[in-house]
Structure 1
C-alpha cells in the first residue's frame, strides 16, 4: 500500500513511500523480505530513517471486561539518513528476522482470523509519519503444523484463534501476547473438557507447546482449567509419530488438574516435572491456565472445511477471511499510539 499522506510539517510536495513485501507466507524465526519504494517530492529532502513495525491486533482482559487494540511488537530500521533528491525514485531492499513467537495467520492457505501487519514509518527533518498497514501472512513451523494435524487426526475440531495480551507464567515467552488456537474436543475427550486451547512458544532451540483444557464442573463444583507444557525440537518433525505423542499429552492433561507438566529437553519424549502456571493479562489478574485414537480429517482439512462452511470436525467455523482483507479497518481506531 502506498501511503501518500504528506508529512504535516512538510506541506505539499513531500516524499511518499510504498513498502512491498515479497510473496508469503513467511515463517516464525525466518526472514521477512521486501522493498521500500520512495518517490521524491517537489524539493530535496533529508531522510532521517525508515523504520518497519510489526503490528498485531490483540485482545486484553481487564477488570472492566475485554477490549481489542493494536500493538507494535517489533521494529526494524531498514535505512539510515540520506538525501532524497527532488522527484527521485529509489528502492531499498530489506531482509529482517521475524520473532520466533510471531503467530501463524494461516494453515494450508486458510486464514485463522489473526490480523498482523507491517507499518512503514518515514522520518524526515525530525517529523515522523506512519503509513498504512500491509497485511503480513505467517505460516506455521513444521512442528506446529504436524501437531495441529495430529490433533485433527485425533478428532479435535478447529473453532477459532486469537491473540491474548499477557504472559503465560512458567514459560520462556518473550512477546507481550500469545496466540490461542481453540479446538472443540475429540469425541473420546468430550466428557473431560469443553474446549482445548493450544499455544506455541517457539525459540531458536525448539518450541514450548502449551495445552489448556477447559474442564467441566460437577454438580457441586464449577469448572476449572488444566494446563501442561511440552518442549519439542525443530528437527525431526517429519519423522515423529505425532498422533501418539499428542494423544499422550492430552491424556496427561486430562489426568492432571491444573498443573504445568514440563516435558523432557527438546527432542526427548516424556514428562520430567511439574510446576504451577498462570496467565497474567496486563497485570490485572492471573489464574491457572493454559482414550483412544480417532480416525478423522487432519486440522488442515478441518480448517479448510470451516472456511467453506462445512461441518467436518469443525465447531463454530472460521473467523471471516475478510478480516485479513480489511486489515486497514481493523487498525483504524489505534490512532498514533499503540495499544
Structure 2
C-alpha cells in the first residue's frame, strides 16, 4: 500500500519530523513492503523549519547569527527552498522560535525587554541571499513588542517625541510618537507569507497582551499597561489592530502586515509548500496525530487539515495521539491508538514518546 505519514508535533515530547520517522519505522516493522512517504506537519510554531527540511527535496540550511530575545547573540539558521516557477531565487523560510523565541530564555522571562530583532535580522539575511519569496513562522514568541524589533531590523525607525529611538521591547511602546519607514527594505518579488495558528487581534481582551502576555511573564497588573502600549503603537502606525492574526507573536503579525506581508493559517500554508494534497491523493492510508487530540484538532490545526485531505481523496485514516479527549468526534478515522493507553499513563508516554509512537504505528500496521 501507499502510506502517507503526516503528524503534527507531540508538544513537549517530540518534534513532528521525529514523530513521522517513528511512525514510519513502526509501520514498516509490521508491513515492510509498503511504500511510506513522510509529510510531517506544522502550524507556524517551533519545529516548522524542520518540517520543511524533511519534506522538501533540495532544502538547505543557512546559518545566521542574530540578536536573541534579550539581545544576546544567538547562532540560528534559516532554510532555503529550491527555485520554483514562481520563485526563481528560491524561498526563504525564517522562524521566530529559533531566533528570538520563548524557548531561548529557558526558565527566565523578560516581559518588558524581550524583542523580535533577531527575527528581522534573519529575514534580512534571507533577502540578502536573493530569495524570491519568504515564509515567516512566528509561533513561540518571547516578547510583546508589537514587532517593533523585527521592523527596526528591516529598516524602520520608531521615534519618541524628541526624535530618539525608543527603548527595545514592550517598555518602549509607551514612548513611541512616530514611525519613519523611509529606510525600510522592500519585500522580495514573490512577497512574504506569515505562518501562524493564532487569529487574535492586536489589542483588547483577546489581544496579544491579555491572552499571551501572562505566559511571557506579564503580571496581572502589567497587562493593561502593555495593552495600552500596543494601542499607542497602532495609533502611530495606522493599519487595523482588529485584523485576525494582528496579535500573533506579541503583535509581530500586525508589524509584518504593515511591511506588506500576508497572514495565513500556518497549517494551510505548510501543507501547500510541502505538497500534502498531492501526496495524500495517491495514498491508500494516511497516518496523522498530535499530543492531545480533541474537537479543536479538526479546526485549523494540522491533523484536521490532514483528515480533510484524506476525506477528499478517499484514503483511510489512522490516528495516533498522546491522548484523545473524552467525547471527541472520531468520524472518518478508521483506527486510533493513544500513547497513554499503551504506556499506562500520560507521564510514562511523555518520558519515552518516540518509542510508544513507533509501537502504536506497528500495531496500526497489523490492523491493516
Normalising by structure 2, report the TM-score: 0.27
Q: Which has the larger radius of gyration?
A: 1
Q: Which has the higher strand share?
A: 1
